Amino acid sequence: MAHIQLPERMPGIVGPLAFSPETAKPLLELAEVLLRAPHTLTSAEREMIAAYVSFRNECDFCQLSHSAAAAAHLNGNYDLVEQIKVNPEGAAVSDKLKALLAIAGNVQQGGKQVSAADVAVARERGATDKEIHDTVLIAATFSMYNRYVDGLATWQPREREAYREMGEQLAHQGYTRDRFRETPKAAQS
Amino acid sequence: MAHIALTEGLPGIRGPMVFSPETTKPLCELVQVLLTGPHSLTPAEREMIATYVSSENDCYYCQHCHGSTAAQHLGGGEKDYEFIAQMKRDFESTALSPKMKALLNIAGKIQKGGKQVTTVDVERARQEGATDKEIHDTVLIAAAFCMFNRYVDGLAAWQPHDPDVYREIGQHTARLGYVGRDYKKPLDAIAAKQGSSVTKVAGS
């Protein structure tokens, strides 16, 4: 049971967003800018950073929903997303993204864990200041969302299948549409 | 030196904010809703939650900005700054209300991780009169500062240790809030000492 009275059958962050619309607005706008605005990193890459940080924070809802969003951007390639979470160094992604994931993993541990050497590696592999900035902020932002979702003990389905539809919607329709004010279809059945 | 090229002379989060205006907008709106405006917790109390979490995360800039803002909301005297310092060290020993202590306890758990908050922690807050909204907002303030602290330290943003800088920031923020401000404008406390601080940064 959640720590506060949340609307029923709304998974993860959806309940708290409905509970507090005045904070939901900037929270969703932030996710939209970070994960979906035009960028030199693809939305799939940015969603993988979000999924990786959420996985390391052991937040089921966030890691499964953003894994599903990343997979939706990758035409359903869940295998790659799973590789990223478990062993990013061995995953079939660019060396630049591996260096950015290493920075994200350090931000997850704490801001001071990011070293000049981590940043130098990313830069050698072609990362720009904006890519490094956005990686740090995506990782920091998910260190917030994960705590918000778990700190209120929200209801979180554990099966990957429950997130497939949500992933498609997040990937292709984004974070700032009205669905967060309604009960998602997947949760009604 | 910061990990990316940021405008010189802007302390803490201000460099990254100016670097990335499109993310600054929702970040400022979030902190504005959480820490200012009408609420059953006073602005001073909400700034204290932000300060405590930032102190636990060891983020120099955030804990001193928000600590100073909280102190200004309390009156801005030396005793108010001392109170904030004591709150950071050991909030249970302060004259804060039992409800605030219970909420700070929850905020401290969030700093370590969302799953650290137990039903016992929440029950304690509820018995001291905390509402669902107060518990929700405490969790989200604490979570938001786990973000802001990581953003500032993760980019190795410049964080001066001059108390005058934080006094000025606290005075401005307590009066003006967080949105619609010109964060590019140099602080008087930094401009006044720019010669010495620039030399220090270059030599460090």
Residue B165 lies in a domain: yes
> B52 and B104 in contact (C-beta within 8 Å)?
yes
CB contact under 8 Å between B155 and A19, yes or no, is no
pLDDT at B196: 52
**Candidates B5, B132, B154; nearest CB to A5:** B132
The domain tally of chain B equals: 1
Range of the domain at B70: 14-203
Residue B2 lies in a domain: no
Residue A20 lies in a domain: no
How many contacts does A have with B, using Cβ atoms within 8 A?
A: 153
Residue B1 lies in a domain: no
- CATH number (domain holding residue A131): 1.20.1290.10
A57 vs B contacts (CB less than 8 Å): 113-114
pLDDT at B189: 95
- CATH number (domain holding residue B113): 1.20.1290.10
- Largest Cα separation within chain A, whole Å, is 50
Residue B4 lies in a domain: no
Q: Which residues of A49-68 are buried (b: 16+ CB within 10 A; e: fewer)?
A: bbbbbbbbbebbbbbbbbbb
Which pair of tokens denotes residue A14? 């959806």
pLDDT at B199: 42
Other CB atoms within 10 A of residue B98 CB:
14
B58 vs A contacts (CB less than 8 Å): 110, 112
From A153's Cα to the closest Cα of chain B, the distance in A is 7
pLDDT tens-digit readout, A3-61 = 999 998 999 999 999 999 999 999 999 999 999 999 999 999 999 999 999 999 999 99
Among chain A residues, the shortest Cα distance to B16 is held by A133
Q: Judge residue B175's burial from the number of C-beta atoms within 10 Å of its C-beta, 0-12 exposed, 13-18 middle, 19 or more buried.
A: exposed
pLDDT at A179: 52
Residue A142 lies in a domain: yes
The average pLDDT across A68-85 equals 97
- DSSP per residue, B102-162: HHHHHHHHHHH-GGG--HHHHHHHHHTT--HHHHHHHHHHHHHHHHHHHHHHHTT------
* DSSP alpha helix (H) spans, A20-155: 21-36, 43-56, 60-73, 78-86, 95-109, 116-124, 129-151
Residue B176 lies in a domain: yes
Average pLDDT over all residues of chain A = 94
Backbone angles phi, psi at A157, to 5 degrees: -55, 145
The average pLDDT across A118-137 equals 98
From B7's Cα to the closest Cα of chain A, the distance in A is 13
Which pair of tokens denotes residue B185? 């404008």
Q: How far apart are the first and last CA of chain A?
A: 19
Q: Which residues of A76-97 are buried (b: 16+ CB within 10 A; e: fewer)?
A: eebeebbbbbeebeebebeebb
pTM over 0.90? The answer is yes
Residue B6 lies in a domain: no
From A182's Cα to the closest Cα of chain B, the distance in A is 20
Query: Running along chain B, 204 residues long, what does each successive block of 10 average in pLDDT?
Result: 96 98 98 95 98 98 98 98 98 98 98 98 98 98 98 98 97 97 94 61 39
Residue A38 lies in a domain: yes
The average pLDDT across A134-142 equals 98
pLDDT at A188: 44
Model confidence at A70, pLDDT cuts 50, 70, 90, reads very high
Instruction: State the Cα–Cα distance between residues A98 and A105, nearest whole angstrom.
Output: 10
pLDDT at B201: 45
Range of the domain at A57: 25-188
Other CB atoms within 10 A of residue B86 CB:
14
Backbone angles phi, psi at A15, to 5 degrees: -65, -55
Residue A17 lies in a domain: no
The average pLDDT across A56-67 equals 98
CB contact under 8 Å between A143 and B58, yes or no, is no
The domain tally of chain A equals: 1
The average pLDDT across A86-104 equals 97
